Amino acid sequence: MSSYLPKNEINLNKKFIKDGYIIYKENKLDNLEYIRGLIIKKCVKILNVKQPDNNNSEKFLNNIHKHIKTKDLNSFRLKMIKFLNEDENFKENYFNCAKNLLFTLVGNELAMQSKVNLSIQLPKDSSSLLPVHSDIWSGDSPFEVVVWLPMVNCFSTKTMYILKPEKYNKIHKNFSKYVGKNSLDFYKSIKKDVKWIKINFGEILIFNQALPHGNVINEEKETRWSLNCRFKSLYSPYADKKIGEFFEPITLRAASKIGMNYSLPKIND
Alpha-carbon 7 to chain mean position: 27
Task: Give dist(CA 218, CA 196) in Å, integer.
Answer: 13
Q: Which of 3, 259, 39 is nearest to 149 (CA)?
A: 39
Q: Above 80 in pLDDT, residue 180?
A: no
Helices vs strands, H then E, count in the chain? 8, 10
pLDDT in tens, 44-98: 999 999 999 988 999 999 999 999 999 999 999 999 999 999 999 999 999 999 9
3-state secondary structure 102-153: HHHHCCCCEEEECCCEEEEECCCCCCCCCCCECHHHHCCCCCEEEEEEECCC
Mean pLDDT along residues 219-234: 98
Concatenated DSSP letters for 221-236?
A: SS-EEEEEEEEEETTS
CATH number of 7-253: 2.60.120.620
| pLDDT value at residue 90 | 98
Q: Which of 155, 75, 147, 159 is nearest to 117 (CA)?
A: 147
* pLDDT band for position 106 (cuts 50, 70, 90): very high
Mean pLDDT along residues 153-163: 98
* pLDDT band for position 128 (cuts 50, 70, 90): confident
| pLDDT value at residue 117 | 98
| pLDDT value at residue 207 | 98
Task: Spell out the domain ranges in the chain.
Answer: 7-253
Sign of CA pseudo-dihedral 231, 233, 235, 239: negative
Dihedral of CA atoms 203, 204, 210, 211 in degrees, nearest 10, equals 0
Task: Give dist(CA 108, CA 114) in Å, integer.
Answer: 18
